[in-house]
Structure 1
Amino acid sequence: MDTVAQETLTRGWQAKLDLRFTRAAHKTVLFSARHVGPLTVQRPFYPEDDVCHLYLLHPPGGIVGGDELHISVALETNCHVLITMPGAGKFYRSCGPQAQLRQDFTLAPNATLEWLPQDTILFPGANASIRSVFHLTSESRLLAWDLLCLGRPVLQERFSHGELHNRLEVWCDGVPLLIERLHLAHGELSAIANQPWCGTLLCYPATEAMLDGTRERLTPLGGYAGATLVDSLLTVRFLSDDNLVAQRVMRDIWHFLRPLLTEKPPHLPRIWQT
């Protein structure tokens, strides 16, 4: 195999998506959307008048070894954006090369971001690196979640081989509020109690009342869930062997937190109802 063909096989898709939001008149608008490769967005929706609902698209439907995807999102002052996806993200089995997904979010003062992606499924044999970084100010508002599915439990398939590097960072005015790393490899899943579903939910700024209400809503997950409040960052972590329970709890917490954080009632993205 010649050098060019080998590089093509090992590098895969090189995709970038850069989104910039501003406030115009009475609503948030997407004033810049630059993309390279198979990452794009649908036309923004305004089911709440001023809040911009946006659906992120990855037409290939999955990420394979050698793919490198970089998503960058920036919100100017007074913007409110809700971003989700039509379907689950997928990391497919790799013959060796690592698949990389980098996600960077920057929020100006009085900007609000709801980052609510669908599940991310890691097929057995996937070699994935995921890094998500949120840059906030003390006057920003964030409500975000992430739900990983290790293997395909519906098919009785575990993440029996492969590797995952997952890194999450939250910064406020240049100071780290949360930096954590999850590394899973060679079918060793004891770090997540051998559960196939692993979730995280973030809310900033949060209060003790929000912490108490969130903990009440974690009851269906039993002992595989917990919530902490440190420096106004509410961090919820949970494990499950049932995706329906995990998704229901996540949405229940979002329903509870959204009005308290944004003074707006819950408004489900239309794509979730199709």
Structure 2
Amino acid sequence: MLESAHQFNPVEDLSDPAAPGGTARDVDLERARGAGRIVLTGVGGDTRVAEVHQRFPIALMCPEIAGESSKEVVIVNASGGIAGGDRLDIEVVAREEAAVVVTNQAAEKVYRALDRPARIVTRLTVSETARLAWLPQETIVFNNARILRQMDVDLHSGAELIALEWLILGRTARGEDVVGGHIADGWRIRKDGRLIWADGFRLTDNVFGQLHRAALLCDWKAVGTLVYFGPGLDARLSSLREIALSLDCQCAATIVGAVIIVRVAATDGAKLRRGLRSLLEQFGRELGAGPFGVPRMWSC
């Protein structure tokens, strides 16, 4: 059953980047092949774990939180970070009336690669009447890191979803600067089996030197994408645009097909974290009781 995690299929255009010269290779070193799959169901306001599989270095924890009707799932990467040549596969399935928030234990760090990219593939499935919040903490990318990350989401009519991914290009407070590497970040969202939104973010060695241009990232070192799917999209969009005006970061929202797309950006990771916390707190109150606020692990 654990091997089912390797059935994920990242989009074809996320091919391996050309490797820099040198004799040392990532394939000659010990690399992680982690996987985790969890299935949750909900009946009568109670969400329970129906199935869970995990393979080191990935562990899936479900802490008990008093007074919460939703279930919080915490992804733990016991390797302490991601290196070139690693492969991590995560699958979350929310069925029936499940209310689930998924996060991780800390910011994920992607370290310098020798010649191979790390691959992270996430698959989310949200059935009718289920509510799922995918709210990981930030991914910090170090200089000369190489990462291919793919998010595949399968939605059904009647489901509700918030999904967030955010990248920090070096830690500004420590004087870190990212001037080379390879980042490919892709999204594919399907509703009732039909593709409704696709997106790709790609940085390569020859692009990093141009990122300061106004048409690219300008001064932004921290960027993110938040997706919302659910009822009353027009009202939700108006609410998100009002919230955006109060944030300590740049934020804009629009509707594409059947989903709301929110882009966020800041000059450093701390500002983006504050902005996202405020956004989730305010938007979570708008959505009412459920899994859509700030995860508890963000404060640990």
Taking structure 2 as the reference length, what is the TM-score of the superposition?
Answer: 0.82
Q: Which amino acid aligns with 1:227?
A: A
Deviation at 1:100, TM superposition (A): 0.4
Does 2:235 align with 1:209? yes
User: What's the counterpart of residue 251 of structure 1?
Assistant: 277
Contact 1:17 1:40 in 2 (8 A): yes
Taking a change above 3 Å as real, the CA distance of residues 25 and 238 of structure 1, as seen in their structure-2 partners, is closer
Q: RMSD of the alignment, in Å? A: 2.4
- Aligned AA for 2:192? D
Asked whether the equivalents of residues 94 and 125 of structure 2 are also in contact (C-alpha less than 8 Å), the reply is yes
Using a 3 Å threshold, how does the CA distance of structure 1 residues 140 and 257 change in structure 2: closer, same or farther?
A: same
Residues 30 and 265 of structure 1: CA distance in aligned 2, closer, same or farther (over 3 Å): closer
User: What's 2:184 paired with?
Assistant: 165
1:182 is matched with: 201
2-structure distance, mates of 1:38, 1:265:
26
- Larger displacement relative to structure 2 (70-79 or 210-219): 210-219
Residue 27 to residue 270, structure 1, CA distance change in 2 (3 Å) = same
CA distance in 1, matches of 2:97, 2:44: 11
User: Judging changes above 3 Å, is the alpha-carbon distance between structure 1 residues 230 and 53 closer, same or farther for their aligned structure 2 residues?
Assistant: same
Query: After alignment, is 64-73 or 152-161 more displaced?
Result: 152-161
C-alpha displacement of 1:217: 2.2
Q: Tell me, yes or no, if structure 1 residue 218 matches structure 2 residue 244.
A: yes
Residue in 1 that maps onto 2:55 = 36
Matched, 1:63 2:74: no
Identify if the C-alpha distance between structure 1 residues 273 and 11 changes in structure 2 by more than 3 Å, giving closer, same or farther.
closer
- Distance in 2 between the 1:47 and 1:132 partners? 31
1:193 aligns with 2:212: no
TM-score, normalised to structure 1, is 0.89
What whole-Å deviation, never above 9, does each CA across 1:135-174 have from its counterpart, x for those lacking one? 1012110012111001222222221011100001221112
Match of 1:239 among 254, 265, 283: 265
Which range is displaced more, 95-104 or 181-190?
A: 181-190
1:82 to 101, 106, 120: 101
Give the unaligned 5+ runs of structure 2.
1-24
Counterpart residue number, 2:133: 114
Within-5 A mapping of 1:14-33 = 14-24=33-43, 26-33=45-52
Count, aligned residues? 270
Cα distance in 1 between the residues matched to 2:49 and 2:142? 34
* Match for residue 54 of structure 1 among 65, 73, 80: 73
Q: Which moved more, 1:200-209 or 1:105-114?
A: 200-209
Change (3 A) 1:220 1:93: farther
- Match of 1:217, SS state, is helix
Q: Paired residue for 2:295? A: 269
Which range moved further: 185-194 or 226-235?
185-194
Letter in 2 for 1:34: H
Q: 1:174 to 1:123 in 2, by over 3 A?
A: same
Cα pair distance change 1:18/1:266, threshold 3 Å: closer
Match of 1:148 in 2: 167
Describe the superposition over 1:86-122 as per-residue Cα deviations: whole angstroms up to 9, x where unpaired.
Answer: 2101110001111000000011101110111000000
Q: 2:148 aligns with which of 129, 153, 160?
A: 129
The structure-2 alpha-carbon separation of the partners of 1:7 and 1:61, relative to structure 1 and needing over 3 Å to count, comes to closer
**2:124 equivalent to 1:99:** no
AA partner of residue 196 (structure 1): K
Alpha-carbon separation, structure 2, partners of 1:257 and 1:96: 42
Equivalent position of 1:3 in the other structure: none
User: Greater CA deviation, 174-183 or 101-110?
Assistant: 174-183
% identity of equivalent residues: 25
Q: Structure 1 residues 119-128 or 47-56, which shifts more?
A: 47-56
More moved, 128-137 vs 254-263: 254-263
Judged with a 3 Å threshold, the aligned counterparts in structure 2 of structure 1 residues 264 and 94 are, in CA distance, closer, same or farther, namely closer
